[in-house]
């Protein structure tokens, strides 16, 4: 594909999600390294993502019965999937850490046309009592702001990167979802 192709550009939405997951405690520490710092490959269309190893992480598919993946873990995963429009959350891309907390290590942000805010996005699962506490503990609005500021700072040192369009539109839709969740509490 040509240099102007949106498909070949770096998706800033993805690095935002890595950072937000890190801040709410559902993702690893993530570092974003422009390929200009790489000795082997240099391109304005490439960005390396390095994540710190999560202590005691086990993929869902490898979890033992001593540390099962519960309905509550599944509710958290579904909430994050819907909130951030994530795909490719198969059993190799998430699991539990040594404290039995949900950790997402890989994902795909759905195409922009799939990121549509809807009041019915979260379904009836928000009635679960522990989910309300989880949402409060995530401090989504505060961590959304923190993540956007962090990404803005990261982007200053990655000025050579060619970004895919749609980041601002995505942030707007995710912010609407967060406000909806906060109003439901």
pLDDT one-digit tens code per residue, 113-131: 888 877 777 765 667 778 8
CB 96 within 8 A of CB 103: yes
pTM: 0.85
Question: For residue 84, what is the DSSP state?
Answer: H
How many CB atoms are located within 10 Å of the residue 173 CB? 19
Instruction: Please give the structure tokens belonging to residue 3.
Output: 């240099």
Q: Which two tokens stand for residue 88?
A: 């490719």
C-alpha closest to that of 81 among 102, 58, 101, 60: 102
Confidence band, pLDDT 50/70/90 cuts, at residue 108: very high
pLDDT-derived band at 138, boundaries 50, 70, 90 = very high
């Amino acid at each position: 594909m040509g240099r102007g192709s949106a498909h070949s550009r770096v998706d800033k939405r993805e690095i935002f999600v890595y950072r937000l997951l890190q801040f709410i405690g559902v993702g690893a520490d993530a570092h974003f390294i422009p390929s200009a710092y790489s000795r082997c490959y240099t391109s304005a269309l490439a960005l390396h993502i390095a994540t710190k190893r999560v202590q005691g992480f086990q993929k869902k598919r490898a979890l033992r019965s001593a540390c099962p993946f519960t309905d509550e873990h599944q509710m958290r995963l579904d909430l994050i999937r819907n909130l951030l429009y994530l795909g490719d959350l198969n059993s190799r891309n998430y699991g539990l850490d040594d404290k039995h907390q949900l950790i997402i290590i890989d994902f795909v942000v759905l195409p922009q046309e799939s990121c549509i805010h809807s009041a019915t996005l979260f379904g009836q699962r928000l009635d679960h009592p522990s989910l309300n506490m989880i949402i409060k503990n995530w401090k989504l609005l505060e961590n959304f702001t923190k993540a956007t500021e962090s990404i803005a700072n990261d982007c200053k040192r990655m000025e050579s990167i060619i970004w895919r369009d749609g980041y601002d539109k995505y942030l707007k839709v995710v912010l609407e979802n967060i406000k909806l969740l906060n109003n439901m509490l």
